[in-house]
């Protein structure tokens, strides 16, 4: 999956900065759940090779993702 961040550059979701992801969330072009699914898929593909994670709570991440924007607003991040 890829995302347009500035109208001229296509970026994969894994390459997004937090600010770019937030901008896409606010514009309704990306949801936290989509980003979380993409990150988990990337971890699943690459972790057997790089062994960077010893525990992955995919279910917990997917359950928390829909509340991300609301949580950020409550913390006055967004």
**Token pair in block for residue 1:** 């999956």
**Confidence bin at 42 (pLDDT 50/70/90):** very high
The pTM score is: 0.77
Are 78 and 26 in contact, with CB atoms under 8 Å apart?
yes
- H/E element, 72: helix 68-74
Into how many domains does the chain fold? 1
Q: Tell me how far apart the alpha carbons of residues 31 and 46 are, in angstroms, rounded to a whole number.
A: 23
Q: Tell me how far apart the alpha carbons of residues 60 and 66 are, in angstroms, rounded to a whole number.
A: 11
Are 23 and 77 in contact, with CB atoms under 8 Å apart?
no
- What residue has token string 């699914």? 37
Domain of residue 31: give its range.
2-74
**Confidence bin at 78 (pLDDT 50/70/90):** low
Q: How confident is the model at residue 70, as a pLDDT? A: 79
Mean pLDDT of 61-65: 94
């Amino acid at each position: 999956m890829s995302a347009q961040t500035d109208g001229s550059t296509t970026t994969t979701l894994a390459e997004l900065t937090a600010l770019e992801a937030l901008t896409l969330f606010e514009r309704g072009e990306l949801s936290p759940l989509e980003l979380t699914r993409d990150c988990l898929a990337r971890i699943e593909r690459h972790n057997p090779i790089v062994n960077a994670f010893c525990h992955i709570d995919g279910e917990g991440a997917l359950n928390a993702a829909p509340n991300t924007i609301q949580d950020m607003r409550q913390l006055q991040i967004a």
